Amino acid sequence: MYDDTIAAIATSLGNSGINIIRISGKKSLEIAQKIFIGKKGIKLKKLKQRYLHYGHIIDPENNKVIDEVLLTYMKKPYTYTKEDVVEINCHGGVISSKKILELILNNECRLAERGEFTKRAFLNGRIDLIQAEAVMDIISSKSNKSHEISVNQLEGRLSKEIIKIINEIMGLIANVEVNIDFPEYDEDQVTIEQIKKTSIKIIDKIDNLIRTSETGKIYREGIKTVILGKPNVGKSSLMNFLLNENRAIVTEVPGTTRDTIEEYANIDGIPLRIIDTAGIRETNDKVEKIGVEKALDKLRDSDLIIMVFDASKELEEEDIKIIEYIGNKKSIYLKNKTDLEELLDLSDYPKIEESIIDISIKNNEGLDKIVSKIKDMFMSGVINVENDLIINNMRHKNLLINSRNSLDEVLKSINNHMPVEFLEIDLKNCMENLGEIVGKSVSDDLVDKIFNEFCIGK
Amino acid sequence: MDKVKKFLSDKYDVVVIGAGHAGCEASLACARMGMKTLMLTMSLDSIAMMPCNPSIGGTGKGHLVREIDALGGQMGLITDKAMIQCRMLNTSKGPAVHSLRAQADKRKYHVAMKQVIENEKNLYLKQGEAVEININNDEYEVLTRTGSYYIAKAVIVTTGTYLKGRIYIGEVNYEGGPSGLYPSNQLSDSLKKLGIELKRFKTGTPARVDGNTINYSEMQVHEGDIELIPFSFLTDKVDIEQVPCYLTYTNEETHKIIKANLSRSPMYAGEMESVGPRYCPSIEDKVVRFSDKPKHQIFIEPEGLDTNEVYVQGMSTTLPEEIQIKMYRTMEGLENCEIMRPAYAIEYDCIDPTQLNRNLEMKNFKNLFFAGQVNGSSGYEEAAGQGIIAGINAALNIKGKDSLILDRSEAYIGVLIDDLVTKGTDEPYRMMTSRAEYRLVLRQDNADIRLTQKGYDVGLVDEERYKKYKEKNKNVRQEIERLKNTKLTPKREINEVLEKLGSVPLKTPITLYELLKRTELSYKNILELDKERKKLPKIVIQQVQTEIKYEGYIKKQLKQIEQYKKLENKKIPEDINYNEIKGLRLEARQKLSNIKPDSIGQASRISGVSPADINVLIIYLEQQLRLKKERGEDL
């Protein structure tokens, strides 16, 4: 029924040690054979059906091993979707699952939409009628939302960049269209040379964006985590611990001020975006005041707050202020400096007292408890970063690659001396792919652009 | 009005209200499909009138004319008779955007069309103003102002810009139809009473100037093509004496006068609230919005051979007559011009086209059709394209047959109608090739291949046209086959010819088909290598060449069309209740309930319906289908 092959990570990323990547559709087997090698290190000409193959996923470009996996091939129609299905059990956490999926998507295969396997299962008659409602629910609740999220996740600077590229291409197309539809008017004729130049320039920009997406900078992604506490309570040491001890991916986000620094940490596959605040306290210093206000701003839309108390000091005005700021937000309370004499009394705050974790960063005590607490909260769903984060990154990257490929086609057509209306087809494809990233339907804007920018008509 | 005694005049299968370009095609289609048809018009002298520019065709529009012709319509044939200049546009670009544009003698066009209508069997032509449409026992009664009423099984409304027409010239405004004719003031109210939603659009036209008062010597001359290509697939040759058009420009002085008098333009004074088309901007609009442009092109086009009136394209305005004279006279060659008819804007009632199905029938009224400018479109060709479809479908309805719906991959007409009824329009809608997704396939040279079979199947295309189409199609296919089967071997004399043509010599054998894909080679210039060929009509050669040269791109587009068709073929039952479908967002529910798309494909084009909504809809339809099956098994 469907021509295209789809793939996705079927498990929830970060929640478990093993991830399952599912491919469904005509090309499933072909793709699997391309990227999978058996235990003897050779590609298998034939994959036995319904058999758990042990082996490795490799990057066919350089034969580098990506992950150790178990792979199953199931022939249609006796599969979940009633199509050919390949499932890959991999266990390298988020990074390698992502890499495997990317390898799959390099072939004639696209990322599955939310609920699409189930949708196919239903439409192909695999799932019974009673479940139809549930299928519709999944699709309507998840995909509308995930689309919205996907657009929102994009880093502001990048979405601006993409919109700029879209406008550039659209300007070019609008001009081409005016030349075509209103040939009698003496608007500037777009020359093939111009299209070539612009295409090359934009390819360069898109390539840059693709590289950016690989280093993860494309998103303000991760569980937004703010560490709070009065000065000298150990915030920075805690941050360093979270960053260093857990193979942190440290990226400095450009454009942030010296007052709040954002760092990315990866706690067993759970992406944390840690915002180090300048500390919250009353201040009259103008510069510092801006910093504090910024910190409070960050606080407002954070997913998780880690508040650090100083065990060696009594509860102070500043602590109380912070407790009040936090209110009912998802939070973890830490009592640092437990190696010193304890003066802190939290009996006025029984809830905090009950859940507080005793640590001593200096003596490296209790820190593992923080990690397991974060993991607990993540897995129990108290805090969550949906697969969306990781998936959208891939989706966007894919769209970027598609749009770059369209421009390659434009250049190819130019070399073949194709007339301008043929070039326009791929220019439009490029524009639409980019539009999808920023959540804009661009084709409708084209007619507006034509009339806004060109003086045409009788 | 109330005092007029009503009398039953006659009964018809179809009554067409209006005799403009939509009305003409609609009436002829109905009559030719065997329907007893009445064409009702306010003035027999304004049949197929061109109240604006004296031209037919242009990019996109020329495609429409070819399609109308391919379906068995009249516009192309009449244009071939009435043209006084013709050009193929965009010849410097690729074949998909080549488009014919002709200057037409307005009077000749009117006379020729009127004659065809008068002589058409089954078609009755009457002068009368329709003032009411009433429904009586599944039949329609069309009442005229003079009391006669007609009973019809189907009615096609093609009232153009007449409904509550209002003319604006500077501070002056009054009730009026186009080109000095009367407006139709009562029919709108009758439509409203039926519950049909109306909008108010406007459009404008420039002044007509006495050609004898123009000094052409300083203007650029625009001649027609040396070799004329006819619009109609039936016309073998157009043999006319062509007349030129001219080009002049506005200048600083013109712009100064316009800017100084903006407050006297009712559009700028805020007296007109209706929406005008952006591609027909008034000159004041152009000057204000594109203030950096020092001059604008103004084309001088003859209105006909037996009149001195000329059309001043680009100078449409609502400024007062006094100012019009002043600003027209600022332009080179027009210094002493005499305006014969002042420019004006016209405001009129039209319907919200989303009330229509894709066969152009009202969703809520069986057998009530609308076509042309009353649907919010603009342009003679757009009107005619809708007219022929409304006519065909009115006849098919009465015959109890399925509607003819052209989709976006089949015709510009399909794009036009789908856009109108699916998305609606906020301004008079003009066809542009950029609105068509499958432009490479929707060419003007293959309109007959795309549509004539369909026209024949519904009974509109006659045997002569059908035979001609079959012949052409056969020729194209056979020639392509021959080229595929003719091989050249790398012989010296062959390679010499190739080198002479600037082409790489052969190393291995190649078919003529593959050889023709080389950019530097054409069907014409490889004659020396292909001596076996028989003489073929130009249009056949052109098509053969296009199909070969752009094969890869066309194949790609055909693949896209295949995908598109899949969604188009997923039909949505008429009785679907969107409020029952839980997964749909509220906005989608409302939009879908309003537009009532006939297929998943159409649904996906409605703004405000997301891909997720479409997925939900697909699941729901499958669920319903299975439920039905289950019930069937139970029985």
| A454 or B316, higher pLDDT | B316
Q: Are residues A335 and A446 in the same domain?
A: no
User: What value does the mean pLDDT take over residues B271-284?
Assistant: 80
Q: Are residues A363 and A251 in the same domain?
A: yes
The region of weakest confidence among A66-70, A133-137, B608-612 is: A133-137
A195 burial (CB, 10 Å; 0-12 / 13-18 / 19+) is buried
Please give the share of chain B, as a percent, with pLDDT higher than 70. Answer: 99
Please identify which residue in the block is written with the tokens 């065997």. B34
Beta-carbon count within 10 A of B589 CB:
18
Q: What is the pLDDT of residue B471?
A: 96
Q: How far is it, in rounded angstroms, from Cα B555 to Cα A168?
A: 29
B172 reaches A (C-beta below 8 A): no
Q: What is the pLDDT of residue B166?
A: 96
Q: How far is it, in rounded angstroms, from Cα A106 to Cα A408?
A: 16
Q: How confident is the model at residue A255 (pLDDT cuts 50, 70, 90)?
A: very low
Q: How confident is the model at residue A388 (pLDDT cuts 50, 70, 90)?
A: low
Structure tokens that stand for A49 in this block: 């059906």
User: What value does the mean pLDDT take over residues B562-589?
Assistant: 91
Do β-strands A331-336 and A357-358 pair in parallel, antiparallel, or remain unpaired?
Answer: parallel
Q: What is the pLDDT of residue B376?
A: 97
Would the pLDDT of A78 be above 70?
yes
B297 with A184: Cβ contact below 8 A: yes
Distance of residue B35 Cα from the nearest chain A Cα, in angstroms: 38
- Per-position DSSP letters for B111-128, written without gaps between them: HHHHHHHHH-TTEEEEE-
User: What value does the mean pLDDT take over residues B581-587?
Assistant: 87
Average pLDDT, chain B: 94
The region of weakest confidence among A328-332, A448-452, B318-322, B498-502 is: A448-452
Q: Which of A123, A137, A421 sits opposite B583 (nearest CB)?
A: A137
Does some domain include residue A133? no
Q: Are residues A121 and A186 in the same domain?
A: no
Report pTM: 0.83
Does some domain include residue A137? no
Q: Are residues A345 and A259 in the same domain?
A: yes
How far from B138 is each of B34, B72, B191, B360, B398, CA to CA, in Å? 21, 30, 17, 18, 12
Q: Are residues A85 and A193 in the same domain?
A: no
CATH 1.10.150.570 at B570-634, yes or no = yes
Q: Are residues A317 and A422 in the same domain?
A: no
Contacts of A180 in chain B (CB under 8 A): 59, 90, 93, 97, 433-434
Does some domain include residue A138? no
Distance of residue B432 Cα from the nearest chain A Cα, in angstroms: 6
Contacts of B94 in chain A (CB under 8 A): 418-422
Q: What is the pLDDT of residue A219?
A: 47
Q: How far is it, in rounded angstroms, from Cα B364 to Cα B354?
A: 11
Does some domain include residue A134? no
User: What value does the mean pLDDT take over residues B51-80?
Assistant: 97
- Show me where the domains of chain B are located: 463-561, 570-634
Shared fold status for B463-561 and B570-634: no
**Cα-based angle B165, B168, B172 (whole degrees, multiple of 5):** 120
Would the pLDDT of A133 be above 80?
no
Alpha helix ranges (H) inside B71-133: 75-82, 106-119
A143 with B615: Cβ contact below 8 A: yes
Q: How far is it, in rounded angstroms, from Cα B245 to Cα B28?
A: 32
Using a CB–CB cut-off of 8 Å, the residues of A that contact B are 3, 113-115, 119, 122-123, 129, 132-133, 135-137, 139-141, 143-144, 147, 177, 179-186, 416-422, 425, 444, 446-447, 450-451, 455-458
| A44 or A193, higher pLDDT | A193
Average pLDDT, chain A: 79
Residue A91 C-beta-side C-alpha neighbours within 13 Å: 8
Contacts of A184 in chain B (CB under 8 A): 89, 297, 299
Strand-pairing partners, residue B509, are: none
Q: What is the pLDDT of residue A391?
A: 62
Q: How confident is the model at residue B595 (pLDDT cuts 50, 70, 90)?
A: very high
Would the pLDDT of A284 be above 60?
no
Q: What is the pLDDT of residue A253?
A: 39
Q: How confident is the model at residue A149 (pLDDT cuts 50, 70, 90)?
A: low
**Could you list the residue range(s) of the whole structural domain that residue A249 is in?**
223-384
User: What value does the mean pLDDT take over residues A150-172?
Assistant: 79
Distance of residue B5 Cα from the nearest chain A Cα, in angstroms: 46
B578 reaches A (C-beta below 8 A): no
Q: How far is it, in rounded angstroms, from Cα B389 to Cα B406?
A: 9
Would the pLDDT of A1 be above 60?
no
Q: What is the pLDDT of residue A293?
A: 65
Distance of residue B529 Cα from the nearest chain A Cα, in angstroms: 23
Query: What 3 state SS string does chain A have?
Result: CCCCCEEEECCCCCCCCCEEEEEECCCHHHHHHHHEEECCCCECCCCCECCCEEEEEEECCCCEEEEEEEEEEECCCCCCCCCCEEEEEECCHHHHHHHHHHHHHCCCCEECCCCHHHHHHHHCCCCCHHHHHHHHHHHHHHHHHHHHHHHHHECHHHHHHHHHHHHHHHHHHHHHHHHHHCCCCCCCCCCHHHHHHHHHHHHHHHHHHHHHHHCCCCECCCEEEEEECCCCCCHHHHHHHHHHCCCCCCCCCCCCCCCCEEEEEEECCEEEEEEECCCCCCCCCHHHHHHHHHHHHHHHCCCEEEEEEECCCCCCHHHHHHHHHHCCCCEEEEEECCCCCCCCCCCCCHHHHHHCEECECCCCECHHHHHHHHHHHHHCCCCCCCHHHHHHHHHHHHHHHHHHHHHHHHHHHHHCCCCHHHHHHHHHHHHHHHHHHCCCCCHHHHHHHHHHHCCCCC
Q: What is the pLDDT of residue B611?
A: 82
Q: What is the pLDDT of residue A385?
A: 53
Q: Which of A113, A140, A457 sits opposite B281 (nearest CB)?
A: A457
| A213 or B504, higher pLDDT | B504
Q: Are residues A234 and A370 in the same domain?
A: yes
Q: What is the pLDDT of residue B402?
A: 97
Q: Which of B519, B557, B616 sits opposite A140 (nearest CB)?
A: B616
Under 8 Å between Cβ of A319 and A298: no
Using one digit for the tens of pLDDT, what is the confidence trace for A352-365?
888 899 998 888 88
User: What value does the mean pLDDT take over residues B227-250?
Assistant: 95
Domain count across chain A: 3
Using one digit for the tens of pLDDT, what is the confidence trace for A182-220?
888 877 788 889 999 999 999 999 998 887 665 444 444
Q: How confident is the model at residue B201 (pLDDT cuts 50, 70, 90)?
A: very high
Q: Are residues A31 and A86 in the same domain?
A: yes
The region of weakest confidence among A285-299, B240-254, B261-275, B350-364 is: A285-299
Q: Are residues A328 and A436 in the same domain?
A: no
B615 with A137: Cβ contact below 8 A: no
Does some domain include residue A310? yes
Residue A17 maps to which CATH number? 3.30.1360.120
3 state SS of B310: strand
Does some domain include residue A190? yes
Q: Where are the beta strands (DSSP E) in B58-104?
A: 83-89, 99-104
Would the pLDDT of A455 be above 70?
yes
Q: Are residues A45 and A160 in the same domain?
A: no
Q: How far is it, in rounded angstroms, from Cα B233 to Cα B445?
A: 9
Q: How far is it, in rounded angstroms, from Cα B619 to Cα B581?
A: 10
A416-442: b or e for each residue (b if 16 or more CB lie within 10 Å)?
eebbbbbbbbbbbbbbbbbbbbbebeb
Q: Which of B297, B434, B616 sits opposite A186 (nearest CB)?
A: B297
| A278 or B323, higher pLDDT | B323
Residue B398 C-beta-side C-alpha neighbours within 13 Å: 25
Residues 6+ apart with CB under 8 A from A249: A216, A264, A265, A266
Q: How confident is the model at residue A249 (pLDDT cuts 50, 70, 90)?
A: very low
Strand-pairing partners, residue B167, are: B174, B346
Mutation target to probe the B interface, by most B beta carbons within 10 A, among A2, A129, A181 is A181
A119 with B615: Cβ contact below 8 A: yes
Does some domain include residue A145? no
User: What value does the mean pLDDT take over residues A275-290?
Assistant: 54
Distance spanning both ends of chain A, measured CA to CA? 48
3 state SS of B438: coil
Which domain-ending residue is among A365, A384, A403?
A384
Q: What is the pLDDT of residue A135?
A: 74
Q: How far is it, in rounded angstroms, from Cα A274 to Cα B296?
A: 59
Question: What does CATH list as the number for B463-561?
Answer: 1.10.10.1800
Contacts of A444 in chain B (CB under 8 A): 607
Q: What is the pLDDT of residue B597?
A: 96
The region of weakest confidence among A33-47, A390-404, B154-168, B390-404 is: A390-404
A446 with B94: Cβ contact below 8 A: no
Mutation target to probe the A interface, by most A beta carbons within 10 A, among B87, B208, B431, B619 is B619
User: What value does the mean pLDDT take over residues A276-287?
Assistant: 53
Q: What is the pLDDT of residue B153?
A: 98
Closest CA to A226 of A323, A301, A315: A301
Q: What is the pLDDT of residue A208?
A: 84
Contacts of B616 in chain A (CB under 8 A): 136, 139-140
Under 8 Å between Cβ of A192 and A265: no
Would the pLDDT of A442 be above 90?
no
A421 with B622: Cβ contact below 8 A: no
Would the pLDDT of A251 be above 50?
no
What ipTM describes this predicted complex?
A: 0.86
Q: Are residues A227 and A376 in the same domain?
A: yes
The region of weakest confidence among A169-183, A290-304, B200-214 is: A290-304
Q: What is the DSSP letter of B269?
A: T
Residue A397 maps to which CATH number? 1.20.120.430
Does some domain include residue A150? no
Q: Are residues A199 and A254 in the same domain?
A: no
